[in-house]
Amino acid sequence: MPLSMANAGERMVVTGVQGGCGIRKRMADLGLNIGMDVTVVHSDCSGPLLVELKGTRYAIGRGLAHHIFVEPAAQSRHL
């Protein structure tokens, strides 16, 4: 599912990215790579998501978040 659909308080694992080199570059700039844990701190119906990655919080726009695919952290550990 896209990161944009995750609820606040959920710990997710990045499983993939859909998009071109611009999106991949932005993710690399944030240090957000496939397989990393991300905690959704704040997620409203509109506006950016606030996520925590390695102890640092980032605001990620919904457009970018829609291209980042995640699954619940507990679920991905059992695969």
pTM: 0.85
pLDDT at residue 74 in the model: 82
Query: Do residues 72 and 5 lie in contact, with contact meaning Cβ atoms separated by under 8 Å?
Result: no
CATH class of the 3-77 domain in this structure? mainly beta
**70 exposed, middle or buried (CB, 10 Å; 0-12, 13-18, 19+)?**
buried
The string of pLDDT tens digits covering residues 4-19 is 999 999 999 999 999 8
